[in-house]
Amino acid sequence: MHFVEKLGRFTELSDDERIALATCVETEKVVPAQTRLVNQGDEYPSAYVIERGWSFRQRLLKDGRRQVMNFLVPGDAIGFAAAFFAHADHTVITMTEVRYARIDPDRLMQVIAGSPRLGATLFWSTALEESVLREHIVSLGQRTAREHMAHLLVELAERVRKGGMPEAEAQLLPVTQILLADVLGISPVHTNRTIRQLVREGVIETSARGIALLDEPRLRQMSDFDEQFLHEDGGPDF
């Protein structure tokens, strides 16, 4: 029930609200790495909430270039707003084994109708996601590859910490460098050089399974990380 917990972190939910929310959760499912949860161009399948593991959103251009939008960690939602659209404009792929819950959109609508506070809270969590997108825009437009990389790593560490991912998994970002290149909008070769440099400086560490942070304070400093952008400064005001 990460979904209920996540919203509960924003607003103090009553027991009634918790119970009502829980009735929206349908089946839970576990899928292996490299599974497509949503397919660009297809009809939007449904609404989901990630409960365990890593995934990411990507968008393909006609000539094969791809851009990775963001990563999804436990507590993140898929398709709450986007489900309004006829077709998905992006693909969601799992990077590890992932457990997720299907949410019944109609039921959710009913629940919200009964509790505007819940609606506002949901709205809030969408706004938070938008904030992450905006920060990505800033990174792509203004930060150097090095700064962008550092910023991304700190952001993920932060989000994962709040998302209730088990400590062991949270320490390690399970990405290939090719994937990372398409997040940062740079070539795989340059991604590699940037990573190697950060490793030489001792702020990160690489292994076969991914990237681990060694010196988060320095990463924050070199990326000019703004504590405020994940908006820990409060949820909706009632």
* Contacts to DNA by CB under 7 A: 144-146, 176-178, 185-190, 192-193, 195-196, 206, 208
Q: Which residue has the tokens 């088990």?
A: 166
- C-beta closer to DNA: residue 68 or 186: 186
Distance of CA 186 to the CA centre of its chain: 20
Separation between Cα atoms, residue 53 and residue 83, nearest integer Å: 22
- C-beta closer to DNA: residue 47 or 195: 195
12 is an interface residue for a copy of itself by CB under 8 A = no
23 is an interface residue for a copy of itself by CB under 8 A = no
How near is the Cβ of 233 to a copy of itself at its closest, in Å? 4
Looking at this protein, which amino acid is placed at residue 161? Answer: R
**Chosen residue from 130, 166, 187, 189 binding a copy of itself by CB under 8 A:** 130
Using CB distances below 5 to 8 A depending on partner kind, what does residue 177 bind out of DNA, a copy of itself, none?
DNA
Task: Confirm if 112 and 104 have CB atoms less than 8 A apart.
Answer: no
Q: Which stretch binds a copy of itself (CB under 8 A): 21-29, 116-124, 188-196, 199-207?
A: 116-124
Separation between Cα atoms, residue 97 and residue 21, nearest integer Å: 25
**Chosen residue from 39, 67, 192, 197 binding a copy of itself by CB under 8 A:** 67
Tokens coding 25: 């959760």
How many of the other CB atoms lie within 10 Å of CB of 63?
Answer: 5
**Chosen residue from 20, 21, 24, 69 binding a copy of itself by CB under 8 A:** 69
The DSSP code sequence of 134-200 is HHHHHHHHHS-HHHHHHHHHHHHHHHHHHTT--HHHHTEE---HHHHHHHHTS-HHHHHHHHHHHHH
Using CB distances below 5 to 8 A depending on partner kind, what does residue 192 bind out of a copy of itself, DNA, none?
DNA
- C-beta closer to DNA: residue 11 or 55: 55
Give the number of C-alpha atoms closer than 13 A to the C-alpha of residue 170, restricted to the C-beta side: 15
- C-beta closer to a copy of itself: residue 133 or 214: 133
Separation between Cα atoms, residue 103 and residue 16, nearest integer Å: 18
Separation between Cα atoms, residue 30 and residue 94, nearest integer Å: 11
Q: Compute the residue count for the chain.
A: 238
- C-beta closer to a copy of itself: residue 30 or 127: 127
Pairing of strands 66-72, 91-94: unpaired
- C-beta closer to DNA: residue 19 or 189: 189
200 is an interface residue for a copy of itself by CB under 8 A = no
List interacting residues with a copy of itself (CB under 8 A).
59, 61-63, 65-67, 69, 81-82, 84-87, 89-90, 109, 112-113, 116, 119-120, 122-124, 126-127, 129-131, 133-134, 136-138, 140-142, 182-185, 224, 226, 228-229, 231, 233-237
